[in-house]
Each structure stands twice: as C-alpha cells, then as structure tokens.
Amino acid sequence: MLSYDDFLDSADKNLDNNIILDKVKERHPTRPRASPPDSIIDMMMGGTSTSSSVDSEDHKQVTIDSGTLVAQTQDRMWRALKRRYQYDSNLKPAQEFLLNYVNSKIPLVIMYTDLVGSTNMSMTLPVDKLVSIIRAFTYEMSSVIQSHKGYVLKYVGDAVISFFPSSYNKLLACDNAIYCAQSMITVIRNGINPILNQYDYPELSLKIGIDEGENTIVQYGHDKSSPIDILSYCMSVASKITSITEPNKVTIGEDVYSVIHPTLKTKFTELKKRIQDWNYINRRTGKLYKLYSIEH
C-alpha cells in the first residue's frame, strides 16, 4: 500500500492534469439546472436517463459519456481528499415537503441505502480520508436521489434514508426509486471505487431496500424549524429488507413489485435466500410478505 505522503503526491499530479476536464467542458458545455452544478444528476444506468417519461425537461432521455462522469467524480474525490473541495448536504427540501403533511398520513416510497465496506476502511484509512470518503458517498447519493425526484430524509451513520412521493403516480414513484438505486450503484462502481482500487483501499458497495406504503409524518416540536420525521410499518420493512440484501443488489417489497412497469418487473426474481428470519406479513393477504431482488 502507498504511504500517506505518496498518496498526496499522486493526488497532486491528478489535480494538476486538467486536460481531461477541459475536454469534458468542451464536449459537454454547462447548461442551467436547478440542482447544484457539481452533483452527478445525470448519472444513469447505461449512460442514459432512467427517469420515467413525464412532461418535464428534466425527465427527457439524456445521453452522456460515461468517461465524463468518471472524470467528474474522480476530480471531486481528489479535491476532497486534498481538502480543496468540500461536500455539502442539504436536508431542507425534504423537511419543507413534509411540513405540508405534519400530523397526517401520506403514501411514500421509502428507500434505505446502506454502505458496505466502511468498517474495513476505518481500519486502513487515515481518519481525515475516511471522513472525506463518507462525505463523498452521502453527497453523491443525495445528488442521484434528487435527480430522480426523490428527497433525502436523513443520514444515519453510513446509511442514507430517502423517500419518493407516490400519491399522484405510484408506478412512476416506484420506477424512479428503482432506477435511482441502480444509478447509485453505478456512481460507486465507476466513480469512487477506481480511486480506492488504485491505492489498494477496500472497495465500497451498496445494499438498497425499497418499500411503499402509508406513512405518518411527525414533527418533534411546535415551530416550523423543528425536525420532521417519518413513522410507519413501511419504514420498518424497508430497513429490514436492506439488512438481508446482498452487496450491489436492490431488493423491493411486494407492494412495489406489484405496481412497477412490466418491463422492469421482468428483471426481478423472488428472493428466497437469506430470509430465514423474515417474518413480515402482507396485511392484505395474511401471507408472508414477498421480496424481489435485482443485481446491478
């Protein structure tokens, strides 16, 4: 493994090489958008947009060079490791959305994203580098979530909890959540892991669980600035789903599987392994709540 000084020297060389980024700017000129300019909001599985088609410019299919995405991601990583780039997180959009539904129930698609490998990294990386990578993880995952019309509810350790409103179009919300999950894995695999591999650091991977249902919106306080949270059976199910999901796989609950697009549905297989302790019941049928998994 490279020494810490060698690591920083190599990072300087990468930062000084602006040729690739100049070409990126020439080939892909910046266009106005609502999301932060440094976020990977166009990261799509297979290099194209995976958001379902709606009457919005943000949901039209976009073709983008995968090499460009890798270059942008790695540039942010290098600068973050050298303290020349500071990631920022913003939970305000989710809080503002939920504020409209305090003390009521609303249907939501809940997604848990759990980072695999952070324990190994904590034993091999300097603390400042570990913190930078965890911040990079939460920032990039949040960017992908926002690009798929989702909201980041909160960060819990090395996990990101998010939701997608499903009251108007349940199929669209479920499809977007699944496409978002696949894009998240792509960001980790193509954007962050190549840097970690280069220096013999442990790779990162994700476990993602998704479920849909009614959720109670609770505010812990009386003024508008008090934190707002979500309580529901659905939240519990999504958390448990994630815990039994294998790395780099996405697992969805039966309620999500039943409404997603038929083409997307064919890519999933029923999960029958690792469910020995699974005891959640489908409240409509009284039978064991089925799970379905897809590998990306």
Picking from 94, 184, 95, the residue whose alpha carbon sits closest to that of residue 143 is: 184
pLDDT of res. 294: 93
| pLDDT score recorded for residue 76 | 73
Alpha carbons 278 and 177: distance in angstroms, whole number: 23
What angle is formed at CA 252 by the lines to CA 101 and CA 100, rounded to 5 degrees? 5
Query: What total number of domains does the chain contain?
Result: 1
Nearest to 289 by CA among 267, 271, 265, 269: 271
Instruction: Using the predicted structure, report yes or no on whether residue 80 has a pLDDT greater than 60.
Output: yes
- What pLDDT does 205 receive? 92
Whole-structure pTM value: 0.76
In a domain, 54, yes or no: no
Domain of 258? Answer: 89-295
Task: Give first-to-last CA distance, the chain, whole Å.
Answer: 29
CATH of residue 120: 3.30.70.1230
Q: Residue 14 falls within a domain, yes or no?
A: no
Asked if residue 27 is part of any domain, the answer here is no
Residue 119 inside a domain? The answer is yes
> Is residue 5 included in any domain, yes or no?
no
What b/e string do you get for 19-40 counting C-beta neighbours within 10 Å, with b at 16 or more? ebeeebeeeeeeeeeeeeebbb
Question: What does the pLDDT look like over 19-70, one tens digit per residue?
Answer: 334 433 444 444 443 333 343 333 333 333 333 333 343 343 333 344 555 5
Judge whether 65 lies within some domain: no
In a domain, 69, yes or no: no
Q: Find the range with the poorest average confidence among 67-71, 109-113, 179-183, 236-240.
A: 67-71
Give 145-184 pLDDT, tens digit per residue: 988 899 999 999 889 999 999 999 999 999 999 999 998 8
Structure tokens at 100: 């409209």
Percentage of the chain modeled with pLDDT above 90 = 43
Nearest CA among 270, 167, 274, 282 for reference residue 214: 167
Give domain status of residue 75, yes or no.
no
